[in-house]
Structure 1
């Protein structure tokens, strides 16, 4: 009987149950879409947490229905979307829908900060950022608008903390999964100390927070109720992993700051693994890594590959029909669309600012410039891919400068990495060799690596990553295309935000 490791990857668009062997081979996978998001008001995004738990159980049970053996599973770990928050009572029952990371509600009715802290933030030039953080914090919104629910709240959990509770009946979560408006000391990778300023910003009490467990350490054992729900053996070890982006870096096999890691998911990100804490853009911290005492300083496009899916749904019906007719992956036909359009999209350039930008309450407007009668659907699609990648290049360059280490190679994960054309565009825009890991399920692989360490299949993360990660293909930059993208980046893309700022202000003033 082959030993296996089960990873649960709960992203924004789907949840997956993934079975890996100790050498990192993906044996089997069941994936279910997450479609039950709801929005009672413009800009809101909520989901019933029980939907996620039900989908997790269905994914696991279908693995065994497909012939996989639950008795062969030696440990499991959970990795999830970041910044989606859930208020629960003492029995772990949700008191209201989860507020997702895509939610844009704000609450400006906050108690004034003490004079000392107002003075300190003002002197540091952070007054506006602090005001935005307080107004965007989910806990603060609940405390003001639903005080009865807040009074009943026993714990306030990330999705990972909620699912770990459902699996083990313990309020424990990974120290590598705490992302969002919570009193977490990112530098020390623990809950903020009693005198930390974060307690002044948020409505939390220490009792609202789960116990933290570092990646690779046991969270608990599978409860009888969870065993029945999933079809797994009662008592199975549940091991701490990390948030999905942190697990992706582990699953890419990146151990130091010379490897740039790109994630082409709903939120597209650029990051490195660094032993050094530094902030790329204040007030955003460097998030905890998927390895203990490592950091993943990050730059992101908030609704990155959501834009790609938007294009496919709105304009990609011909490609979807072709794929359905011949039973081929739809990405093949979208690659044809990219390959039929030249680098630079005949001057069509996109600024991928969809949704609220980091640390700002006012949404930043996106834009496409350079339209002409030569442009087609293919140009728009390529401009979206190029715009996201140009923005990630801007961010990764800043990370490189602050880390002091030269990035020598890129590794790309997430759904977008399945596309050869997107991989080549990435290599050309960054002017770096760009590797595709042996599986695009790198978040799940990172969680499986943590599980393997937690039960001693591998003695530590270094040995586990050596055994379980490898690169599949390398895309080399084309020198001629590199020069074209360099000019577009310097003379067109970088000046766009400042040039468009007055127009964006006028749009907000006129139509909101």
Structure 2
């Protein structure tokens, strides 16, 4: 049989998505998706089980394979995943404890330890990034301090994609994108810095071997074949980060291009040459799946999650209505929110439901609604949620532009960007044109392209993009509405700055009285 199919799998914070790409017809021919749980045991804690990732990957693969007789025609598999996760694995390849994920904010003391022992500048120079709980080493040091026996048992710290790649191939690996979230990774040299690892306090042998995203790191083992239904011996590539694979999958592959990817959290990604050392650390840098290209990337937490929170907390009636009508509940939210004019009646929302990532990097932050009045409506609340997320995006765009980055337009991807109503808000708040494409889920498509390159089907990663990615629409900002939004944005920004000390004190009280939501 001609092996012309490839399988791409993306592990998101909320679910795993898989796609099978037919490289002969340039069509996605099968899809699978499986949710996996998030553990919120204390204020500031956010964890996920390694085996929850794998079980969801298996389910998503089997859903794809149930769409047709595909297994024998799949030439390669690529996996991407969420970043900033400290997932400790023992010598037998078993997770030692749940992984502390990017949302986890417990390791601020360890961040201070790194600032004292290593220094912010040394991290900046080597890794291109700042010291913050979001990265892996603060979490690993927390484990070393509070769970020393488990730390000693740790053979390798893997990413979610690295762990599931291990489950497929029995190879302990990390791709360059995931490695970029580990401080000893030198982002311009593309390799570990053993001296920096030693200064931080993490033995260098706890880090896996680094591979390019399209490198073949092994093949599907007999055990993995039995679990997933894939053919034993199918090529497995190193994969990428969810964001870098998404950039590839929606055709953002050149310096100067930018995209906005929305899911549970969101990312503003601006492509820069790797040799371009921007001295701006509120926005992150990590490797694209394309060598020589770095993503100047602003991660934002609780963006799509803000609307999920509203749905789960206040929208029981709307969820029931949508189910009875066979609709997506978020389409109802769009309809309700459209009854509110731009500005949401003056209601402002700061989307920091557990912490804030770029640009403020404050693990004490919490969500804030400001400006409610007796006349505030449900429509205003819904619209304010969407506008607040757009304001957070704009706060990062301002910083990126001030650093010298160029953003002519934003290519959109991710579930919430399917809302034309929310896209209109995003365009008007940012003042930047938006572009939509025909790509349903960019990250698993990007992973399938990586797998096809590793399997020898494509000669380059950009080869198939003109056939796979088509522009389907654009949204131009309304200058008058943008001007109005900028007036409110100045207040939105001041609300956060004026409440920073109160947020810190409030966060301490949550720990004192153990008021975190448990799940």
Q: TM-score, normalised by structure 1?
A: 0.89
Encode CA deviations 1:386-410: one digit per residue, 9 max, x unaligned.
Answer: 11111111212322332x3431111
Corresponding residue of 1:263: 261
**What is the rounded CA distance, in whole Å, between the counterparts of 2:300 and 2:115 in structure 1?**
34
Structure 2 gaps of 5+ residues are 512-519
Structure 1 gaps of 5+ residues are none
**What is the rounded CA distance, in whole Å, between the counterparts of 2:480 and 2:437 in structure 1?**
26
Is the CA contact (8 Å cut-off) linking 2:433 and 2:475 kept in structure 1? Answer: yes
**Residues 338 and 269 of structure 1: is their aligned pair in 2 closer, same or farther, counting only changes over 3 Å?**
same
**Residues 117 and 4 of structure 1: is their aligned pair in 2 closer, same or farther, counting only changes over 3 Å?**
closer
1:347 aligns with 2:346: yes
Encode CA deviations 1:62-93: one digit per residue, 9 max, x unaligned.
Answer: 32233242112121100111122221122211
Q: What secondary structure is seen at the aligned counterpart in 1 of 2:273?
A: coil
**What is the rounded CA distance, in whole Å, between the counterparts of 1:195 and 1:400 in structure 2?**
34
Highest relative contact order (Cα 8 Å, sep 6+), 1 or 2?
A: 2
Is the CA contact (8 Å cut-off) linking 1:280 and 1:298 kept in structure 2? Answer: no
Corresponding residue of 2:312: 313
Is the CA contact (8 Å cut-off) linking 2:6 and 2:452 kept in structure 1? Answer: yes
Q: How big is the shift at 1:166?
A: 0.8
Encode CA deviations 1:453-495: one digit per residue, 9 max, x unaligned.
Answer: 2223221122133332222222222333223223322x32333
Q: How big is the shift at 1:500?
A: 2.8
Corresponding residue of 1:400: 401
Encode CA deviations 1:134-164: one digit per residue, 9 max, x unaligned.
Answer: 9971211221222222222211111111111
**Residues 400 and 290 of structure 1: is their aligned pair in 2 closer, same or farther, counting only changes over 3 Å?**
farther
**Residues 110 and 469 of structure 1: is their aligned pair in 2 closer, same or farther, counting only changes over 3 Å?**
closer
Is the CA contact (8 Å cut-off) linking 1:48 and 1:96 kept in structure 2? Answer: yes
Map residues 244-263 of structure 1 onto 2, 5 A cutoff: 244-263=242-261
**What is the rounded CA distance, in whole Å, between the counterparts of 1:487 and 1:286 in structure 2?**
30
Is the CA contact (8 Å cut-off) linking 1:249 and 1:273 kept in structure 2? Answer: no
Q: Which region of structure 1 is more displaced relative to structure 2, 108-117 or 477-486?
A: 108-117
**What is the rounded CA distance, in whole Å, between the counterparts of 2:87 and 2:502 in structure 1?**
38
Is the CA contact (8 Å cut-off) linking 1:87 and 1:157 kept in structure 2? Answer: yes
Map residues 37-76 of structure 1 onto 2, 5 A cutoff: 37-76=38-77
Map residues 363-442 of structure 1 onto 2, 5 A cutoff: 363-402=364-403, 404-442=404-442
Corresponding residue of 2:224: 226
Corresponding residue of 2:456: 456
Is the CA contact (8 Å cut-off) linking 2:239 and 2:450 kept in structure 1? Answer: yes
Q: How big is the shift at 1:19?
A: 1.2
Q: How big is the shift at 1:45?
A: 2.4
Is the CA contact (8 Å cut-off) linking 1:168 and 1:221 kept in structure 2? Answer: yes
Corresponding residue of 2:233: 235
**What is the rounded CA distance, in whole Å, between the counterparts of 2:228 and 2:484 in structure 1?**
52
**What is the rounded CA distance, in whole Å, between the counterparts of 1:144 and 1:304 in structure 2?**
32
Q: Which region of structure 1 is more displaced relative to structure 2, 243-252 or 175-184?
A: 175-184
Q: How big is the shift at 1:33?
A: 1.0
**What is the rounded CA distance, in whole Å, between the counterparts of 1:473 and 1:483 in structure 2?**
24
**Residues 361 and 424 of structure 1: is their aligned pair in 2 closer, same or farther, counting only changes over 3 Å?**
closer
**What is the rounded CA distance, in whole Å, between the counterparts of 1:134 and 1:423 in structure 2?**
30
Q: How big is the shift at 1:24?
A: 4.8
Q: Which region of structure 1 is more displaced relative to structure 2, 409-418 or 56-65?
A: 56-65
**What is the rounded CA distance, in whole Å, between the counterparts of 2:369 and 2:261 in structure 1?**
23
Corresponding residue of 1:81: 82
Map residues 110-509 of structure 1 onto 2, 5 A cutoff: 117=118, 137-192=138-193, 194-196=194-196, 198-201=197-200, 203-276=201-274, 277-279=276-278, 281-282=280-281, 285-358=284-357, 362-402=363-403, 404-489=404-489, 491-504=490-503, 507=506
**What is the rounded CA distance, in whole Å, between the counterparts of 1:316 and 1:337 in structure 2?**
12
Corresponding residue of 2:516: none
Corresponding residue of 1:106: 107
Is the CA contact (8 Å cut-off) linking 1:142 and 1:149 kept in structure 2? Answer: yes
**What is the rounded CA distance, in whole Å, between the counterparts of 1:437 and 1:92 in structure 2?**
39
Q: What secondary structure is seen at the aligned counterpart in 1 of 2:463?
A: helix
Encode CA deviations 1:224-271: one digit per residue, 9 max, x unaligned.
Answer: 111111111111111222100111111221123433211111121211
**What is the rounded CA distance, in whole Å, between the counterparts of 2:87 and 2:57 in structure 1?**
17
Quote the RMSD (CA, aligned, Å). 2.9
Is the CA contact (8 Å cut-off) linking 1:106 and 1:361 kept in structure 2? Answer: no
**Residues 114 and 308 of structure 1: is their aligned pair in 2 closer, same or farther, counting only changes over 3 Å?**
closer
Encode CA deviations 1:163-217: one digit per residue, 9 max, x unaligned.
Answer: 111111111221112254542222323212x333x5312x321211111111222
**Residues 331 and 151 of structure 1: is their aligned pair in 2 closer, same or farther, counting only changes over 3 Å?**
same
**What is the rounded CA distance, in whole Å, between the counterparts of 2:307 and 2:294 in structure 1?**
28
